[in-house]
Chains A and B, each alone.
Chain A
C-alpha cells in the first residue's frame, strides 16, 4: 500500500511565526487531505487537495502530485493552532480508504 511520511514529527513555535509541514507519499493518489486533530480528538478538515494549491485564511496547501509531496503552510501562528496535523492519502480505486501519516505535533507558545 501507499506509504505516507510527515515531517517534522514535532514543531515548537512562538506565536506569530510561520511554519511549513511536509507530507511525502510513495505512489500516485486520488485523494489527499490535511487534518487538524483537536485536543478532544476530532479531526477538522483543513484541505482536500489531491493536486494544486488552495488557501483558507492563514492556512494554505500545495500538492505536487508528480513529485509526490504536499506542503501545509501556517502563517502568523496562534496558540489555537496547536495540535496534531495529519496528512492522509488514498490511491488507485480505494477512494475512501485513507492512509494516514504519523502526524506533526505543533505547539505554539504565547
Chain B
C-alpha cells in the first residue's frame, strides 16, 4: 500500500477566518493529488486536482478563490479554505496514487479533516 496523511484531523474556526489543511504522501512521490469533500450522510465529491508546480484544476461549481490549493512539493499539497463560513463545514479528504509504470492506478486516501465553522 501507500500512506497518505492529513493534518489537522479536525478543526473548529470562527466564521470569516481561513483554515489550512495539509496532505502529505509519506512513502511515495505524487505529482498529482486530489481533494474531495463529503457532507454528512452523503458521498464524496471531487473538488479539485492539485498539480505539483502548476495551478490546480477545479471541478465545476467549486470556487477557486475560496478553496486555494498549493502543491508545493512532490509530497505535499495544501488546501486553504478562505473566509470560511458555516456552509463550508464539511469533511475534506485528499488522495494520491503512486505513479510510474510499475504501479497501478490505485488511489490512497488520507484520514480526512473535519472542519466546523462557527
- Which A residues have a C-beta under 8 Å from some C-beta of B? 30-31, 33, 35, 40-43, 45, 48, 50, 86, 88, 90, 95-103
Contacts and interface: CB of A to CB of B under 8 A. Distances in A.
B111 to A, nearest CB: 5
B107 A99 contact: no
A45 B108 contact: yes
B105 interface: yes
Chain B interface SS verdict (over half): strand
Contacts of A101: 43
Contacts, number: 60
Interface of B: 1, 32, 34, 38, 42-46, 49, 91, 93, 95-97, 104-109, 111-112, 114
B93 A43 contact: yes
B34 A97 contact: yes
A41 B107 CA distance: 16
Contacts of A40: 111-112
A30 B49 contact: no
Contact of B43 (A48, A96, A100): A100
B93 to A, nearest CB: 7
